[in-house]
Structure formats: C-alpha cells, structure tokens
Amino acid sequence: MTKAAPSPDRQPLPIKRVLDLLAHGEIESQGLLPWSSNYTFLVNVTQADLQTAAVYKPRDGERPLWDFPEGTLCNREVAAFVVSQTLDWLIVPPTVLRDGPHGPGMVQFYIDCDPDEHYFTLKNNRRFSDAFKQVTVFDLLINNADRKSGHCLRDVDDHIWTIDHGVCFAAEPKLRTVIWDFVDQPIPDRFISDLKAFRARFDDPHDPALRTLARLLSRREIMALKRRADQIIDAGCFPRPLPGYRQIPLPPV
C-alpha cells in the first residue's frame, strides 16, 4: 500500500500513515449522518498533530438483513478497501476495523466532496469515463448488491471514490448497480491485467492480502471472489443485466 491519500491540510499522506491514524487515533463523535440505513457517525480522529474527519459505522448499529450474516457489514466495508488496494486502484477510501465509542466497527477516511454530485451528474463528463469503467469492474468483482449513484464521489482533485460496500462479497450473484452504460464494451486491457495479477494471489496461501480477506469473509465468499475474477477475465467485456432479475438498486441515488 504505497499510494497516497489526501490529508486534511491538502498534503498527501502515505496510505500506511492514514491507516495508522484511523486505527489508533482518538475518536470523537460529531453526530449521526442523515439518511443512512444503518447507524453512521461523522467523527473526528486525532493522533498527535494529525486530525481527520472520518465515517464510523459500529457493528451494533447494523440493520439485520435476511441475505447477509448478521454483524458482517463492517467487515465487508474493510474487505472492499483491501481489494481496492490490492488491485492498486485507490477506489475505496482508507478503511479500518477497530473499536469505537459504540463498539467495534469500520472507520473510513472522509471524502470532501460536493454532495450534489454523483454518478448521474458526472457520467457524461468524458474525463471520468475510465474511472467509472474501473468502478464497474470493481463492482463485478466484489458482487456489489447496492451501487447507488450517490455512492460515487468526486473529490477536489477530480478523483472518483466509492463508498458504502457493506452488502458486497456474497457467494450468490447479487449485482445491483446504476452503472449499465458500458454494456458489451471491452474491458480496458490494463484493468484485465490488474485482475490477472489479483487472481494470481489466490495461488499463494501465504499472500498477505488474501490472509487479511480470510479474516473478514467466509471461505465460501473468498472462493466466489476467485471465481468472479476468472469470469471477468474470461469474458473480457462488460455484461448485460440478467433477465428477470432486478439489477438496479432502489432508490437509485
């Protein structure tokens, strides 16, 4: 993890330093964020002379779902970050699993963005086309069951980030997304190359990224992740929605 993320004073910090801040800094709650289906807090995280805003989702605040094991949504948020970093894509903001004011949960670096911007407002801007293709491949890989338009954020440096990955990594097909603009188009070669490098890690039982994922997901989910990587590589193009299956989340934004 060598890439950098923006810091509060706009100077880039190494990912490792950001993760250390999120994992070990003192958390001070600023209140609940509105319109969240689960308890989601805006917090300040402080360590020595560093401070950042972050999003804290405690495990005890997760709404039970019939199709995901109870108490696992925060694990999946962290797993999405691990996959993003292993691919070297920097799609998911730095995210850790740690104890907080309301018990263990995920803490994620806060992305400063215009809340009125999202996928639907940005998708026709050509300079973001490759970024959204990358997001689409990422969602196929992690089996994202809830890619809403508002989960795509543009920061002040024009980088596209994605958030809210609590309902990902199911072993059964559950893809639901608003991003269907690239149907039948070839997946860019560089993304396929990154997927092949990611897939190769499954052949090493001591790979650190896979060992981390094994602590966050079930063995069945890990095997399904491997299978989806193979399927995307073999297909080489963006899929069509499956007939007879609702593959757009509600609400879409």
Q: Are the C-beta atoms of residues 182 and 112 closer than 8 Å to each other? A: no
- Please give the structure tokens belonging to residue 192: 């396929």
- What is d(CA 243, CA 173) in angstroms, rounded to the nearest whole number? 13
pLDDT band of residue 6 (cuts 50, 70, 90) is low
pTM of the model: 0.94
Maximum CA pair distance of the chain?
Answer: 54
Residue 5's pLDDT is 56
pLDDT digits (tens, 9 = 90+) for 107-129: 999 999 999 999 999 999 999 99
pLDDT at 244: 79
DSSP state of 241: P
Confidence (pLDDT) at 24: 98
pLDDT at site 240: 94
Angle at 82 between CA 89 and CA 93, to 5 degrees: 60
Give the side-chain half-sphere CA count within 13 A for 219. Answer: 1
Residue type (1 letter), 161:
W
User: What is the rounded average pLDDT of the residues 119-142?
Assistant: 97
Mean predicted lDDT score pLDDT of the chain: 94
